[in-house]
Amino acid sequence: MVTHPLDSPATAPTAQPIRNVLVFCGSRLGRDPRHATQAAEIGRTLALHGVGLIYGGGALGLMGEIGRAAIAAGGHVQGVIPRFLKEWEVAEPLCDDMTVTDSLHARKALMFDRCDAILALPGGLGTLDELIEVLSWRNLRLHAKPVWLLGDGDFWAPFLALMRHSVDSGFAGIDTLSHLETLDGTDALAALLSRP
């Protein structure tokens, strides 16, 4: 049986110290109010640890909650929004740095280039698209940035089950699951940010 090249051991590029966290999250609030509360807590946590927030730049939904909370707590916030979404997602006017791109692809690439770690909160198709892309890059050993999942109510359980199913079905290597770390709350994030 021929093995897949990605199933053999390899060294990924070395991860950098965490100065900026890229957060993927919904432009809607969702039905569970705990998600909005947690997004605001994360925004404050990043600011209190001196870690910059990089996000989609919208003022709606969980994006708005995390952005405004980080700004209110004195954090540095970088928004990146495509031109066609400036009105749809309502670009956050209080961002320290708002970059307008010509496409979604440019938005994702720029946000990724600026960050040292990625955190996915609850969201819809856009959030899943962004998360899958950075996981694919990690699987291809193009980066070694941490990828974290955080969401109340076991939000990510179905996604993780699908990932395990892909591995169990032989379509992804077992190390695919090791590219993700599920955090059990804001305190767990704070502990990671406190590491030297």
Say what the pLDDT of residue 56 is.
95
Residue 7 forms part of a structural domain: no
pLDDT digits (tens, 9 = 90+) for 128-143: 999 999 999 999 999 9
Residue 132 within any structural domain of the chain = yes
Identify the pLDDT of residue 14. 52
pLDDT above 70 (res 10): no
93 part of a folded domain: yes
35 or 16, which is more confident?
A: 35
pLDDT in the model for residue 16: 72
| Number of domains into which the chain is organized | 1
- At 98 the three-state DSSP class reads strand
Q: Is residue 2 part of a domain?
A: no
Q: Is residue 3 part of a domain?
A: no
Mean pLDDT to the nearest integer, 96-120: 95
What is the span of the domain harbouring residue 70? 17-193
- Domain-embedded: residue 9: no
Task: Give the global pTM.
Answer: 0.91
Q: Hey, which bits of the chain come out as E strands?
A: 20-24, 52-55, 77-82, 97-101, 117-120, 147-149, 181-182
Residue 8 included in any domain: no
